[in-house]
Amino acid sequence: MEVNSAGLNHWGDITVVVVYFILVLAVGFWSLCRPNRGSVRSYFLAGRSMGWWAVGASLFSSNIGSEHFVGLAGTGAASGIAIVLYEWFSMPLVLLLSWLFLPVYISAGVYTLPEFLQKRFGGQRLRVYLSVLALILYIVTKLAVSIFAGALFIQMSLGWDMYLSIVALLLVTGAYTVLGGLAAVMYTDTLQTVIMTVGAFFLVGIGLNEVGGYNKLTMLYMEAVPAIRDANTSCGVPPSDAFHLLRDPVTSDQPWPGVVLQASLGCVWYWCCDQVIVQRTLAAKNLSHAKAGSIIAGYLKLLPLFLMIWPGMISRALYPNEIACVDPDECLKFCGNPVGCSNIAYPKLVLELMPIGLRGLLMAVMLSAIMSSLTSIFNSASTLFTMDLWRKMRPVATERELLIVGRVFIVALCGLSILWIPLVKTSQSGQLFVYIQAVQGYLGTPIGILFLWSILWPRMNEHGAFWGILTGHGIGIIRMVLDFVYPAPDCGSPETRPPVLYKIHYTYFSQMSIVVTSITIVTISLITKQSAEKPDGMTWWSRFRSGDETETTVEELDKPANGLEIIEPTDDSETGNAGKCLKLAEFICGIPRESGEIMHEEMNIQKKEFLTETPFWKNFLNINAGIGLVVMAFAIGFFR
C-alpha cells in the first residue's frame, strides 16, 4: 500500500513514544500503592474514592477511542460535520446519568447494570440475558473496532507487523488493568486525556495553517474531488451541506430529525446504562463529584469537531486523490480497501504534516485512545462476568475467588482480542463511525428505553421488561441482518436493496424500535400481575428510602454482613520457593491471603453519605450544568 511508505523511524519520534509508555506504566503501577486494594469494591469500583477530575477525564477517555480518531475523521472527510451531533448530544446525556440515573443505581446498591434489573424486577433471566449480550457486544464490536482502528494507524505509521503491535498493546494494557483494577484504569485515563487533547490540538493547528485557515478550508474541501471518477455521477463530490449540522430530513445521508433523536433519546443506553460509562460514576467519592465529572466530560465532548472532524476534512482538502477516492482499483492502491479510503484521513495527516517529535506525540495520542478503550472494556467486562455470571454459577464464591476470577477473565479477553485480529484485518469498512452508530442503534437503543421505564414507572413488571427488550432486539437484529445481506451499492450503481433499507434511514428505524419496545413494555406490564413487593429504592421516586437513614462507615463496609458464611483462613504454612512465589504474586495483585467472607448479593454501601449534597455545591453544579447545555445549544445553532 502506498501509504505505508512513511514511517515513524526518527529517534525523536521514537523517544516520545517510549516516554509515553513509561509515563502510562508509571501512573498505572503508582495506583497499585493505594491502601485497601485487595477487595472487590476496591478492584471493581476503585473503592468509591475517585475525585471529579478523574471521573470526568475517565468518562471522556473511555468513550474516545481510536475508532473516534479514525472513524470521526473518516466520516468528516467523506461527508462533513453532521456526525458531530452524536458527540455534542453527549452533554445532556452524561448530565442525565448523574442527575437522574446514578442516584437510583446507588440507592439500589449495585456493581453492574444487569444486577440493577434483577433487584428491580426479581428473577434471573433479565440479568443473565443482558450480561451475556453486553459481553458479546464488547468482544465483537468494541474490541474489534478499537483493534481495527488502532492497527490501521500503527501499521501506517510504523510499518510494524499488525499482530506484533496489537499483542504488545494488549500486554501493556492488560498488565496494569489486571493488577490495578478500576483505579489504575481511571488514573491512566486521566493522563491519556491530557495527552490526547494536547496532541490533537497541535495537529488541527498545523493543519489549518497548511490550508490557510477555516474559511479557506470551506473552499478547498468543496473542491476536493479525486482525479479518477465518473464525471457523469456525483461520486467523489463532497455534499453541498458538508458544513451544516441540520440536513435535509428525507434525502440527506444524515437526516437531522433522525440524527437528533438517535443522538439524544437513542443513545440513552450508552451514556446512562452501559457498564463502561456508568462504572466511572459509581467510583466517584459522592454524588457531587460524579456530577462535576459529568460536566467536565460534557465540555470535553464538544471538542471532537475541532480535534477529529476538522482534521479529516483538512486531510481530504490536501490529499483528495487518496482520501476521496471512489475507483476501487485506486482505493485498493492507496489503502487496501476498495470501498473507500476515508478511514486513513487522520493518520495520513499525521504522517504528512507533523514535524519530528510532534509526530511521535500524535502516535502517543493514538496509543492513548487505543489503550484507554481497551482497559475500560477489559475492566467493565470483567466486572460483568464476575459479579453477574460467576456469582450465579458460584453463589458461595469468596471475595478472594472473585478477585482471582476477575483478573483471569481479563487475560482471557486479551486472548480473544488477539483471535479477532484476522477478522478485523479483512473487514471492509467504509465509514467506520457510521457503521458503529448503526449497529449500536439496532441493539443498544431498546436497552436505554428499558432502563428509562424501569426507573420512572413503578408499575412496570418483569414480564413487560423481558418481552419488551426481546421485541426491541428482535426487530433490530432483523434490520442489522438485512444491512449485512444487502450492502449499499457502489457509487453510481443501481439500487438493489429492499426499500426498507434505503427508504428508512437507520436513525428513523431506531426511533421505530423505541416506540415498539415502549408499547410492548407498557402493554404487557398492564395486562400481567403487578409485583407484590414495592420497588423501594429502585425507582427515581423511591431512591431515598427510610431504611437508608443509618449511615454506614468505611470500617463497617469491610466487616462481614449479618448472616454471611465466614470461611476459615487458608493454611498459611507453606514453605519453600513455591509458597514464597505465591505470596509475592498475591501481594502484587492485591489478592487477600485469607478467603474471607462470601460475597452477599446485597452490596452494603454508604448510600446516604453518597447521595447527600450541600446546598452550595448542589446549586453550583446545577448552574454549571445549565451553562453547559446553553453552550451546546449555541454551538448547534452556530453550525446549523
Q: E strand or H helix at 377, and its extent? A: helix 358-384
User: Which residue has better confidence, 281 or 560?
Assistant: 281
250: helix, strand or coil: coil
Confidence category of residue 333, pLDDT binned at 50, 70, 90: confident
* Residue owning grid cell 479510503: 341
Distance CA 605, CA 548 (A): 10
Q: What is the residue type of 532? A: A
Mean pLDDT of 289-309: 93
Mean pLDDT of 489-498: 75
* Residue owning grid cell 478485523: 424
Contact, 247 vs 85, CB < 8 A?
no
598: helix, strand or coil: strand
| % helix, strand, coil for the chain, step of 5 | 70, 0, 25
* Residue owning grid cell 496509543: 367
Mean pLDDT of 484-504: 78
- Going by C-alpha positions, the residue among 8, 32, 310, 392 that lies closest to residue 184 is 32
Q: What is the pLDDT of residue 296?
A: 94
pLDDT per position as a tens digit, 205-242 = 999 999 999 999 999 999 988 888 877 777 788 888 89
Tell me, rounded to whole angstroms, the distance of Cα 34 from its chain centroid. 26
- Mean pLDDT for the chain? 77
Mean pLDDT of 626-640: 94
* Residue owning grid cell 515513524: 8
Contact, 47 vs 183, CB < 8 A?
yes
Mean pLDDT of 106-110: 84
Q: Which domain holds residue 119?
A: 2-638
Q: What is the pLDDT of residue 311?
A: 93
Q: Torsion angle, CA of 248/83/77/366, rounded to 10 degrees? A: 180
* Residue owning grid cell 496532541: 199
pLDDT per position as a tens digit, 440-453 = 788 889 999 999 99
* Residue owning grid cell 452524561: 94
Q: What is the pLDDT of residue 519?
A: 96
Among 169-183, 186-200, 258-272, the minimum mean pLDDT is found in 169-183
| Partners of residue 398 on adjacent β-strands | 598
Structure-block grid coordinates of residue 56? 470526568
Cite the DSSP H helix spans in 274-353: 275-282, 287-300, 304, 310-318, 320-323, 328-335, 345-353
Buried-state track 302-320, b at ≥16 Cβ within 10 A, e below 16: bbbbebbbbbbbbbbbbbb
Structure-block grid coordinates of residue 202? 497541535
Buried-state track 242-264, b at ≥16 Cβ within 10 A, e below 16: bbbbbbeeeebbbbbebbbbbbb
Distance CA 569, CA 561 (A): 17
State in Å, rounded, how far the first CA of the chain is from the last one. Answer: 38
At residue 612, does pLDDT exceed 70?
yes
At residue 585, does pLDDT exceed 80?
no
Q: What is the pLDDT of residue 44?
A: 46
Confidence category of residue 606, pLDDT binned at 50, 70, 90: low
- Going by C-alpha positions, the residue among 134, 111, 149, 204 that lies closest to residue 371 is 149
Distance CA 270, CA 96 (A): 12
Structure-block grid coordinates of residue 609? 453519605
Confidence category of residue 568, pLDDT binned at 50, 70, 90: very low
Among 68-77, 91-100, 467-476, the minimum mean pLDDT is found in 68-77
544: helix, strand or coil: coil
Distance CA 386, CA 398 (A): 12
pLDDT per position as a tens digit, 416-468 = 766 765 655 444 344 556 666 777 788 889 999 999 999 999 999 999 999 99
Most confident of 128-132, 386-390, 554-558: 128-132
Mean pLDDT of 292-311: 93
Q: What is the residue type of 101? A: F
Distance CA 111, CA 483 (A): 35
Q: What is the residue type of 355? A: P
Most confident of 6-20, 173-187, 580-594: 6-20
Buried-state track 191-201, b at ≥16 Cβ within 10 A, e below 16: bbbebbbebbe
What CATH number is associated with residue 21?
A: 1.20.1730.10
Instruction: Give the total number of structural domains in the chain.
Output: 1
Mean pLDDT of 406-422: 72
Distance CA 249, CA 257 (A): 6
Please calculate the CA angle 352-354-360 and round it to the nearest 5 degrees.
Answer: 115
Q: What is the pLDDT of residue 558?
A: 38
Structure-block grid coordinates of residue 66? 481510536
Q: Using the 8-state DSSP alphabet, how is residue 566 labeled?
A: B
Q: Length of the chain, please?
A: 640
CA distances to 90, 99, 249 from 260, rounded to whole Å, are: 11, 21, 11
Q: What is the residue type of 295? A: I
Confidence category of residue 29, pLDDT binned at 50, 70, 90: low
Most confident of 12-21, 89-98, 261-270, 548-557: 89-98
- What's 214-249 look like in SS3? HHHHHHHHHCCCCCCCCCCCCCCCCCCCCCCCCECC
At residue 473, does pLDDT exceed 80?
yes
Q: Using the 8-state DSSP alphabet, how is residue 562 labeled?
A: T
Confidence category of residue 257, pLDDT binned at 50, 70, 90: very high
At residue 559, does pLDDT exceed 60?
no
Structure-block grid coordinates of residue 214? 477555516
Q: Torsion angle, CA of 240/244/246/251, rounded to 10 degrees? A: 10
At residue 4, does pLDDT exceed 80?
no
Count CA within 13 A, CB hemisphere, residue 309.
Answer: 25
